Amino acid sequence: MANEVHVAAIVLGITQDAGYPHVGCVRPCCWPAWRRAAARRHVACLGLVDVARGLCWLLDATPDMPSQLHYLVHLMPWAPLRLAGIFLTHAHIGHYTGLIYLGREAWGARNVPVYVTPCMKAFLMANEPWRQLAVDGHVELHEIVPGHPICLGKSLRITPLAVPHRAEHTETVGFLVTGENRRLLYAPDTDAWAHWSPPLEAVLEQVHVAFLDGTFFSQDELVGRDFSEIPHPPIVETLRRLRALPADVRARVRFIHFNHTNPVVHCPFFARRIVAPTGVRAAVEGELVLL
């Protein structure tokens, strides 16, 4: 790989904040994963690697960060990569709580750059144990501003993009990753596409691969719950929206951040019959995207 590409992204997890199987779930959707470790999936996360410089970054710090970070750091068997930073999308539990593993009781890391929005920084510094990570020097919090790129090297930069999503504690961002030859969008958590500006279709025209919120397959999964309180765009609605786009644009989309009730996770053959004919794909753990 080192002779072929300098920078790449790799899928380290594909599920919603609580993973698959889901804590407390005894329904048939989670039975396969409780019974077989091979059926289990990690919480949504991307890794970025710069092979030439031996560096890597995480997009989100999930509850599965120990295994995800180990996989990423040792992706190149001939030379471990060094964690050069973590980018956080927002303050829902599947996206930042992995930071705890950097602390004194765990890794005891030193001065790991963590890139956060101003509200995210304020949230972390106002609450323990996150504040202590900064006070003790385990992390260095760097503020990022939507629309302003961060240069990670000659061949890699990342730009936060404002994303409409529940803002109980902080705003939410996605990330536009620009490599040597290609651009990638990572937006695992969002509210309805109607709230996007510019529109989703315009954003897809500007990237080569887009990891998009696929939390629910349809509203039918939310039995007894008010969908307006968790307005993720269901996959079936996103597919209808994308139907008019050229096939090559639809093929850029990878759904990610699946809830445990989503048949893409627990009944993939059924889901593929609906998704695959559209040209859209579901993200797969271990998938490598050259940049």
- In-domain check, residue 18: yes
- In-domain check, residue 2: no
CATH code at position 224: 3.60.15.10
Q: Rounded to an integer, what distance in angstroms lies between the CA atom of residue 113 and that of residue 108?
A: 14
DSSP string, 233-264: --HHHHHHHHTTS-HHHHTTEEEE-B-TT-HH
Residue pLDDT, tens place only, 169-199: 899 999 999 999 999 999 999 999 999 989 9
The helix-helix angle for 235-242 and 268-275 (nearest 10°) equals: 20
Q: Rounded to an integer, what distance in angstroms lies between the CA atom of residue 42 and that of residue 36?
A: 14
Which residue from 252, 199, 259 is spatially nearest to 227, judged by alpha carbons?
Answer: 259
State the total domains in the chain. 1
- In-domain check, residue 147: yes
Residue pLDDT, tens place only, 223-240: 666 666 678 899 999 999
- In-domain check, residue 245: yes
pLDDT value at position 228? 65
Residue pLDDT, tens place only, 44-76: 999 999 998 999 999 999 999 999 999 999 988
Helices (H), the chain: 31-35, 65-73, 93-96, 118-126, 130-135, 200-204, 235-242, 247-250, 263-266, 268-275
Query: In terms of residue numbers, what domain contains 218?
Result: 7-290
Name the average pLDDT for the chain: 92
Whether 154 shows a pLDDT value over 50: the answer reads yes
- In-domain check, residue 1: no
* AA letter at 66: P
